[in-house]
Amino acid sequence: MNLSTPAGAHRPRVRRTAVTAFLVLAVLTAAVSPAAAAPASSTFPAAGSAAASAVLSARVEPQQDVPELDAPGTAKPVTYPPDHRTRPNSGTFVFTAPPHTRITRLEMDCRPRPCAEAIAADGSTATVRMGPGRWRWNTPVRVWLQAAPNAPMQRARYSGALNVDGERQPLDVIITEGKQGLLGIVREDAPNNSGALVSDVVPGSPADKAGIRPGDVIVSFNGKVITNAREQSAARVGVLRAGAVVPVTYRRPDGSLRTAEVTLVDAL
């Protein structure tokens, strides 16, 4: 098909004024756009570029190891590698301890910027706040965790969290299996479902050290009301590990009540 203009045909007149105005507007728009205004030394890529997409999709790196904690036992570290990203504002690291653990220590090199570190009194959380201005995470961060003596007996994995300015990664530990905790008493049902009657106490046992004597009646064990010997056994066997510290409330033959903190052992 021939798209050329036939000889002698009338040629339409081009409206150059509108085209010229459009070009001027485009030049002005480019001159005031953020991408054009950014200095050459800026480390922030233009929106929509491949580099910008990579920054937006980046996340805090996962922990390098999952420690196995004995309960009770010493604290062990969880390490998070640096992501080497430059952040434009002051940052906040928030650590939430997994169940049955507490945070005992943080290792974080904030230099050359100042930072403020705080660990909750019960070890449930810890926070690090960076100073104002741009900063770059270039060194590993370590959080030390210790398992609680009263952790469940069974081996299990527990999860907390690390949150860095809204980006989250799990904070995981494994608590190893424990040995059965022993109290050191012989018991039987007290009359009228009034508790677990202590008929004998092993010398030197946790019960003996707590002042429990034959004839006493256990009415509460580790926060649970006890109405018979079976309930007292069920509250301990398969539940409480050696090293667990439990409150025991018992009634003396004169009717008075006493409560003692008892540390269970694995052998008598």
CATH code where residue 228 lies: 2.30.42.10
Q: In 108-221, which ranges are E strands?
A: 115-119, 125-130, 135-136, 141-147, 156-164, 167-175, 185-189, 196-201, 217-221
pLDDT band at 150 (very low <50, low <70, confident <90, very high): very high
Average pLDDT over residues 125-137: 90
Residue 57 lies in a domain: no
Report, in this order, helix, strand and coil percent for the chain, each rounded to 5.
15, 35, 50
> Which amino acid makes up residue 159?
S
Residue 7 lies in a domain: no
Q: How many domains does the chain have?
A: 2
Whole-angstrom distance, CA of residue 249 vs CA of residue 223:
9
Do 154 and 236 fall within a single domain?
no
Residue 29 lies in a domain: no
pLDDT at 229 (0 to 100): 97
Residue 25 lies in a domain: no
Do 211 and 170 fall within a single domain?
no
- Global pTM? 0.74
- Rg of the chain, C-alpha, whole Å: 35
Assign residue 148 the CATH number of its domain: 2.60.40
Residue span of the structural domain in which 170 resides: 68-175
Do 210 and 229 fall within a single domain?
yes
Q: Is 26 left (phi over 0), alpha (psi -120 to 50) or beta?
A: alpha
- State which H helix or E strand residue 224 sits in: strand 224-225
Residue 93 lies in a domain: yes
CA distances (Å), origin 161, targets 25, 93, 125, 152, 250: 51, 10, 10, 20, 40
Do 85 and 142 fall within a single domain?
yes
Do 147 and 218 fall within a single domain?
no
Q: Of 61, 153, 164, 143, which Cα lies nearest the Cα of 98?
A: 143
Do 110 and 203 fall within a single domain?
no
Q: Of 223, 80, 210, which Cα lies nearest the Cα of 144?
A: 80
Residues 177/154, Cβ–Cβ less than 8 Å: yes
Do 191 and 233 fall within a single domain?
yes
pLDDT at 135 (0 to 100): 86
Residue 250 lies in a domain: yes
Give the pLDDT confidence of 215-246 residue by residue, as tens digits: 999 999 999 999 999 999 999 999 999 999 99
- State which H helix or E strand residue 249 sits in: strand 245-251
Do 85 and 155 fall within a single domain?
yes
Of 114, 144, 175, the residue at which a domain comes to its end is 175
Higher model confidence: residue 55 or residue 66?
66
Do 138 and 194 fall within a single domain?
no
Residue 1 lies in a domain: no
Do 133 and 216 fall within a single domain?
no
pLDDT at 113 (0 to 100): 80
pLDDT at 114 (0 to 100): 84
Residues 158/100, Cβ–Cβ less than 8 Å: yes
Residues 194/219, Cβ–Cβ less than 8 Å: yes
Residues 133/113, Cβ–Cβ less than 8 Å: yes
Of 132, 151, 175, the residue at which a domain comes to its end is 175
Residue 252 lies in a domain: yes
Do 133 and 221 fall within a single domain?
no
Residue 16 has pLDDT above 80, yes or no: no
Average pLDDT over residues 28-39: 40
Print burial letters for 174-194: b (CB count within 10 Å at least 16), e (below 16).
Answer: ebeebebbbbbbebebbeeee
Of 175, 204, 224, the residue at which a domain comes to its end is 175
Do 96 and 116 fall within a single domain?
yes
Q: Kindly state the DSSP code that residue 228 receives in the 8-state scheme.
A: S
